[in-house]
Structure 1
Amino acid sequence: MAVRIPAAFAANMLEGATLQGIDPAGLLRRAGLPPQPTDLAAPDFVRLVRTVTLTMDDELGGLQHRPQRIGITAIMAGALSHAETLGEAYGRAVQFMDLMDNSFRYGFRESGSSVMFELTRIPGREVLNVMAIEMILVLVTRMLSWMAGNRGATNAAWFDYPAPGHVAAYRGMFARAPMQFGQSSSGIAIPAGLMKLPIVRSEAQAINYARRTPLDAFLPVDAAVGLSLEVAVAVENVLTVERRLADMAEVCSALGIAQHTLRRRLKKEGVDYSDIRKQVRRDLAVRLLTTSDASVEGIAERAGFSEASAFIRAFRSWTGVTPRAYRLSEL
């Protein structure tokens, strides 16, 4: 089934132009869209974003305190392509965006097994609606993952606003990661192991990618693809049925592949077997917390933990809060 972009994204994209006196009906007409679009096909949404940003000469569509002129993201992408590793590229991105001195201050820090890419509002600066934050988090993290030849992975995501009406779309945008709303900042936690990946795209490739934005920005992307996805499915099958985590030998037997081959191919995809097992277990626990009335003890057992206390410790390490606190934040 073709991916549909919620109509809320289009409404939020048009708000900045409307406040600056630009007729939204004219922008929709120029993009080849009806006067009041509902959910949009991805190519239609991309045309709308490009129409708005080019008309305004503002890559941020009037959503932030001051315009970000067309071409700035391409300049940044070219500069980041000269980083040695993904971690270095993130550090450079934060410095570059802080120099623009717009609506946010940016941060990049390590925390346990994750690194945090974070943005905090500057008091008194305009942030028109939630799309200002959505665009930055999604566009920057996906572009940098692409530069490293990786599809990316997200351990957690958090936002400094209440859950929006289109929150269902966030599951695809943020790779099914645990999410929290109403926080003091917004950001994404990324597996620290990915930061060692080398940047493999050239300056020309990076600039061309930035010019294509937002072609892939708001489409669902699973962290697990290719062999990673096959392994995740095999692990999930055992966990769901037998309530335990499968070891590598079992998965290799199910997939008909040698263990050394599995390790080598997963390494090429930028992941390892233990990370996949952790993510499958985490995804199951989050899904049960948000879609069922099962007790914390019951969820711990179904997620393959021998004791609820071990589950609570693990969940806190994933999200920073206890399972009960996370469940309450989702209500």
Structure 2
Amino acid sequence: MTKKLNRHFSRPAPGRASATVARDLLRLVGAYGGNQPALLREAGLTHLSASLLSPTAPAPALSHEEFTRLHAHCTWALDECAARQEGREPLTKLGVDMLCHCVITSRTLREAIERTDQFSLLIGRRAGRLRLHEEGGVARLDMETVRTVRNACAYLSDLTGLSTYHRLFGWLIGEDIALTDAAMRYPPLLDERTTFYLMPHPLTHGAAENSLRFAAGYLDRPVIRTPQELEPLIRSFPFDLAVPLSKDAPLSERILHLFAAMLASGEAPATAAWLARSFSISEATLKRRLAAESTSLIALRTQARRDLAARLLSDPRLSVSEIARRTHFSDATAFRRAFHQWTGQSPAAWRAELR
């Protein structure tokens, strides 16, 4: 296998997107038969045509939003070309969005990976199957793709897929998943700066399979994102490379998100023992850290139930009994009593004010 690329290129900050990467993506589009001026028109970037398409022109100043649009249009054009080479249908933005909807209610990262593979199986050759291997505390996630043509176009398609999975899985658990290795089946076929911009980790080339390696402990991390958080993400996912993956938030906020996700999917909030195992800490440490944040598991469960109840009461089709069931109360009477303690109003009075 070839040596890894040295990690010495830094990803530009939002608002300072790389013109070098933009030009390289457009160059690839042209090399594989794409109409570069038409693509720029579709992306609403006609005003940048002269500076992007001329290698001798001064480097244009792309805004973060402009680069995201360009990145999306170039990637879809090149993935369509890669699909045409293989005689298959290309993956679409709708397909990526539906994958996100399928995994958002997963309990753990392991379950999210299993669902992703099932989704890949469902849509056929549009996406690579995922194979998870564990050994010695290390997880290896292979992205199997059947390629008869391995050129730069196919390379970009597979690299984008590998990067998309890495970023989606990190976003789901609210952590940047630290990679011990990222590998591609190909020789290095893109400019180093473009490769690192799309996958900011040293890459091993000439591997047996496209893969990611990371600590196996991540697999049992709970999915803490909620369906409500998904909608803002998929507006530009996976092309907005500045979307933060980790939730730099207190433990209490992460647990609150987790409780909200569990209640929304019909499950009771997790126990202290389950949470301690999931966050790789002891129960005593869990309670001590929450106390340091001036809260407790009881308070967080209460807040999650109260927030869900208020949201459900805005739906006139749901009875108070049904809302009580969804918020895990024994009956409507117990729910009414608790809701009055929370708000000083009955559910009916609250609903009347909403109307």
TM over 0.5: yes
Larger Rg: 2
Q: Secondary structure at the match of 1:155?
A: strand
The corresponding residue for 1:194 is 218
The corresponding residue for 2:271 is none
Q: Does 1:183 align with 2:183?
A: no
Q: Secondary structure at the match of 2:222?
A: coil
The corresponding residue for 1:137 is 162
2:135 to 85, 89, 111: 111
The corresponding residue for 2:94 is 71
The corresponding residue for 2:120 is 97
User: Alpha carbon RMSD of aligned pairs, Å?
Assistant: 3.8
Structure 2: which 5+ runs fail to align? 1-11, 53-58, 251-284, 294-355
Q: Secondary structure at the match of 1:212?
A: coil
How far the C-alpha of 1:169 sits from its partner, in A, is 5.5
1:23 to 35, 46, 52: 35
The corresponding residue for 1:234 is none
d(CA) in 1 for partners of 2:129, 2:145:
6
Q: Give the count of matched residue pairs.
A: 227
Q: Secondary structure at the match of 1:119?
A: strand
Which amino acid in structure 1 is aligned with residue 108 of structure 2? T
Which amino acid in structure 1 is aligned with residue 20 of structure 2? A
Q: Secondary structure at the match of 1:152?
A: coil
With over 3 angstroms needed to count, the CA separation of the structure-2 counterparts of 1:6 and 1:141, relative to structure 1, is farther
Any conservation in 2 of the 1:118–1:187 contact (CA below 8 Å)? yes
With over 3 angstroms needed to count, the CA separation of the structure-2 counterparts of 1:158 and 1:19, relative to structure 1, is closer
With over 3 angstroms needed to count, the CA separation of the structure-2 counterparts of 1:79 and 1:103, relative to structure 1, is closer
With over 3 angstroms needed to count, the CA separation of the structure-2 counterparts of 1:174 and 1:226, relative to structure 1, is farther
Q: Percent identity?
A: 18
With over 3 angstroms needed to count, the CA separation of the structure-2 counterparts of 1:216 and 1:62, relative to structure 1, is same
With over 3 angstroms needed to count, the CA separation of the structure-2 counterparts of 1:191 and 1:5, relative to structure 1, is farther
Which stretch of structure 1 is more off in the superposition, 121-130 or 201-210? 121-130
The corresponding residue for 1:209 is 233
Which amino acid in structure 2 is aligned with residue 133 of structure 1? D
Q: Does 1:7 align with 2:20?
A: yes
Q: Secondary structure at the match of 2:126?
A: coil
How far the C-alpha of 1:201 sits from its partner, in A, is 1.7
d(CA) in 1 for partners of 2:238, 2:245:
18
d(CA) in 1 for partners of 2:150, 2:244:
30
d(CA) in 1 for partners of 2:103, 2:245:
24
d(CA) in 1 for partners of 2:190, 2:27:
17
d(CA) in 1 for partners of 2:30, 2:143:
24
How high is the TM-score relative to the length of structure 1?
0.56
Q: Deviations over 1:159-214 (max 9, x none)?
A: 112234532465565554x5311112111112211111111222343244223213
d(CA) in 1 for partners of 2:18, 2:171:
22
Any conservation in 2 of the 1:77–1:203 contact (CA below 8 Å)? no
The corresponding residue for 1:148 is 173
Any conservation in 2 of the 1:17–1:62 contact (CA below 8 Å)? no
With over 3 angstroms needed to count, the CA separation of the structure-2 counterparts of 1:151 and 1:12, relative to structure 1, is same
